[in-house]
Amino acid sequence: RSQKAYSVALMSCIEADPRILVVPVGAKQANVLGGKIYNLAENPFKFQQAVLVGAQNGYYGEAEFKLDPQNPDYVKMEKQAFRKLFGKFSPSRGDLVFSKTGELLGIMVNDTHCVVLKSIKTTTKFKFGNNVLSEQTGGIMASQKFIMNSLPIHLQ
């Protein structure tokens, strides 16, 4: 991939998981950056299978997942059910997870669990610019870390 610069004015944490940060990007900006905008899965549990796309290593693979009744915003990827489609397949944090219909299901938060993105509702916002020091990012990050540490250990 070629590298492109993009000036970010705002970054937000999403409600579903404090580790996931989003930056608003419109269709025109996505096109210039060489990105693609995906729709969220309308019915993420229609199929118990997903396609994983490696965030760093460019691999693709299929996996089955199980719902977690205690943590309905997450699914557990079944490691024994991974099937490599392309590249060295080793799911890890940051990998994108798609439904069999090509919609975005979620993002891997560790090597076994995926946060299901039912919406992109944001919580904390970081504004960038001339007044970035007044944004109190240290306190914001501390509160996000507290939320993450409150998750069950297998989701951390």
Global confidence as pTM? 0.82
pLDDT given for residue 89 in this prediction: 65
Q: Is 5 contained in some domain?
A: no
Q: Is 71 contained in some domain?
A: yes
List residues bridging with 64 in a β-sheet: 49
Q: Is 3 contained in some domain?
A: no
Q: Is 107 contained in some domain?
A: yes
| Each residue's pLDDT tens digit, 26-70 | 889 888 888 888 999 988 888 888 989 888 777 788 888 988 888
**Residue 127: pLDDT band with limits 50, 70, 90:** confident
Q: Which of 5-9, 139-143, 150-154 has the highest mean pLDDT?
A: 150-154
pLDDT given for residue 80 in this prediction: 60
* Phi, psi (deg, nearest 5) at residue 116: -85, 125
pLDDT given for residue 84 in this prediction: 59
Q: Is 2 contained in some domain?
A: no
Distance CA 53, CA 37 (A): 15
| Each residue's pLDDT tens digit, 85-118 | 555 667 789 999 999 889 999 999 998 999 999 9
- For residue 107, give the amino acid letter: I
Q: Are 109 and 45 in contact (CB under 8 A)?
A: no
Q: Quick check: helix, strand or coil at residue 151?
A: coil
Q: Is 1 contained in some domain?
A: no
Distance CA 155, CA 146 (A): 14
Q: How many CB atoms lie within 10 A of CB 107?
A: 20
Supply the range of the domain harboring residue 61. Answer: 10-155
For the chain, the domain total comes to: 1
Q: Is 110 contained in some domain?
A: yes
